[in-house]
Structure 1
Amino acid sequence: MTDVEAPRPPLPPFTRETALRKVRAAEDAWNSRDPARVVLAYTIDSEWRNRDTFLSGRPAIVAFLAEKWRREEEYRLIKELWAYTDNRIAVRFQYECRTNGQWLRCYGNELWEFAANGLMRRREASINDVAINEDQRRFCWDTPGPRPEKHPGLIGLGGR
């Protein structure tokens, strides 16, 4: 195993506690808006579907994320564990961003599959965008950076 594929705990098989830790670690990494940091959670040959875009490998993922966060200003994300098995985790998430002056709340579901070393080898994301007014925003912490510990998750925000 090379340095770039060093184990990334927690490792499968997942328990509820370790799945929750994996989800929060992913949320924190994505809220950094740093593609070089985020990509380290994925295998070198990771396969992605993001909406209607299909990607393979770390270089493609880095390029995709860099463009995403160039376009989606003031991005803030909350992920929530939906279900888990030995090496798979299902997540629901919401994020808010501003694109071309319009605020959006994006609702999504992700299916994750992990290699034995704890790196994600497959990610499938289905996402829908809803235009919102600025006064409808719910994710208002300083960015980039993790969601503050006392900021409610999706359930605490009413789930919608």
Structure 2
Amino acid sequence: MSAEQSRPPLPPFDAETAAQKVRAAEDAWNTRDPQKVSLAYTKDSSWRNRDLFLTGRAAIEDFLIVKWGHELEYRLIKELWAHEGNRLAVRFAYEWQDAAGDWFRSHGNENWEFADTGLMRVRMASINDQAIGADDRLFRWPQGPRPADHPGLSELGL
């Protein structure tokens, strides 16, 4: 297995490696780099995101380009919910602003399944959007990965 074909930590996951996998995904998504993010998925990865069904890296990359073109000032926090073998359950919240200047916090749950290489082959996401005021924002770090000292979802009461 070459470095391009694997994405440690590899399954089966324990509590520590599962949490590492979740934080790595959070950090990658906070870059808002569709190509970089898409490389964490198998070439034939299967996604359900809200009401969209996608297959493959190219579709994932195209989806993320549109997503981050619409969801401005995007900042995300993920938290491990459960793990077993090559599967992780994750909860998340992210804040974003639309083109009109309105703010939202999106809450969701994801089920992930990984290939032996550590690349994600299945992602099923259920997401709900909540309108919030600018003063209600909780994710205010500079664009990019969440600082290590910034509270997570549980600490924020989300």
Give the TM-score normalised by the residue count of structure 2.
0.97
| Counterpart residue number, 2:49 | 50
| Residue 27 (structure 1) aligned with residue 26 (structure 2) | yes
1:4-153 residue pairs with structure 2 within 5 A? 4=4, 6-100=5-99, 101-143=101-143, 145-153=144-152
Give 1:98's aligned amino acid: Q
Using the TM superposition, give the Cα deviation of residue 134 of structure 1 relative to its aligned residue in structure 2, in angstroms.
Answer: 0.2
- The alignment of Structure 1 onto Structure 2 pairs a total of residues equal to 157
Report % sequence identity: 64
Give 2:141's aligned amino acid: W
Question: Tell me, what secondary structure is at the counterpart of 1:29?
Answer: helix
Aligned partners of 1:118 and 1:106: how far apart in 2? 27
Cα-to-partner distance string for 1:76-106 (whole Å, 9 max, x where unaligned): 0000000000000000000000013210000
The runs of at least 4 aligned residues of structure 1 exceeding 4 Å deviation read 1-4
Question: Tell me, what secondary structure is at the counterpart of 2:79?
Answer: strand
Aligned partners of 2:42 and 2:11: how far apart in 1? 14
Cα distance 1:56–1:2, how it changes in 2: closer, same or farther (>3 A)?
A: farther
Question: Tell me, what secondary structure is at the counterpart of 1:9?
Answer: coil
Aligned partners of 2:2 and 2:52: how far apart in 1? 28
Question: Tell me, what secondary structure is at the counterpart of 1:124?
Answer: strand
Aligned partners of 2:36 and 2:137: how far apart in 1? 26
Question: Tell me, what secondary structure is at the counterpart of 1:156?
Answer: helix
Using the TM superposition, give the Cα deviation of residue 47 of structure 1 relative to its aligned residue in structure 2, in angstroms.
Answer: 0.2
Using the TM superposition, give the Cα deviation of residue 2 of structure 1 relative to its aligned residue in structure 2, in angstroms.
Answer: 7.3
Structure 2, gaps ≥5 residues long: none
